[in-house]
Amino acid sequence: MTAAAAAARHRGRNRTLWFWLFVGPFVAGLVVFTYVPLLWSIALSFFDAHNTVTPTRFVGLDNYTAMLSDGAFVDSLRTFVVFTAFIVPTTYAFSLALALMVNRVRRARAFFRSVFFLPAACSYVVAALVWKTSLFNGVRFGLANTVLGWFGGDSVAWLSAADPPWYWLVVVTVRLWLQAGFYMILFLAGLQRIDPALYEAAAVDGARPGVQVLRHITLPQLRATSVAVVLLLVVNAFQAFDEFYNLLSDARGYPPYARPPLVYLYYVALGQGQNLGLGSAGAVILSLIVVVATVGQARWFGLGRREV
């Protein structure tokens, strides 16, 4: 072996050593705290495990059958559909509107971008408690009821379990406030990749600025970004937990459809019964639904399809 080959081999070993030195802790944490619990949860779903994470009696698919025949779990899936129908188009439209406005600003663009993005760094628990105790607390001195009083309206018990279900307005608005800024940044990145020559050509052809330009130029150029935003919004809707749990914490007072799947599974696995086997089966079912929904949307939108 020549000296040059030995030196090259030594440099290769050093690169490998430094690679694992930096990446190793992350990979170890990912395996220990993500993959091992995930595989253990899948295994636990086939066992009868009450008040323990250690499998006891093998029951096969009984946990899955019991979960799919549980009306409360089916109602929680309906909650996801309702929540998604509200939050996905609302967040999409609001974040796109914010991105369009910020993109047109010529001065202090970084300031407005930071201000609108700032709520994304806020904790969901903290935001839910602020909404519950200050904005929509249902008392006469709450901010929402104070504004209603200015216009002669009566106070509303926003988080009451009675009809009409005003708590949906509270849940949707807190989620909208928290995540609109993040998706605004994604839309801003997409808007800045659009060639200005397209808008100039549209103006020469007589296209009126506003709806025509938005429909025929901006939205088609934002297709890839829009697909990514919709996919992320749907997955995040499946993962809704903090706002529902902290705003609607009284499980006895609210109907089953006021709880999304994660909240229901929390009560099953960590509630009074602590049926971890049944809760694990529900988590696997929910994960499969998320995967199928995500892949289906990606295929429907043509994500990754090569255009010719």
Rounded mean pLDDT of 96-103? 89
Residue 91's pLDDT band (boundaries 50, 70, 90)? very high
Q: Check: CB of residue 92 under 8 Å from CB of residue 229.
A: yes
How deeply is 138 buried, as exposed, middle or buried, from its count of CB atoms within 10 A (0-12, 13-18, 19+)?
A: middle
Q: Is the link from the previous residue into 164 a cis peptide, with omega within 30 of 0? A: yes
Superfamily of domain 62-301: MetI-like (1.10.3720.10)
pLDDT of residue 38: 86
Cα 78 to Cα 64: distance, rounded to the nearest angstrom: 18
**C-alpha dihedral, 200 to 204 to 206 to 208, nearest 10°:** 20
Residues of the chain with pLDDT > 70: what percent? 88
pLDDT tens by residue, 65-79: 988 888 888 888 888
H helices present in the chain, as ranges: 3-30, 36-44, 62-68, 71-104, 109-117, 124-130, 143-150, 167-192, 196-204, 211-213, 219-221, 223-238, 242-247, 261-270, 276-301
pLDDT tens by residue, 124-161: 888 888 888 888 876 777 788 888 888 887 778 887 76
pLDDT of residue 308: 41
pLDDT of residue 77: 83
pLDDT tens by residue, 239-284: 888 888 888 765 455 555 567 788 888 888 777 777 888 888 888 8
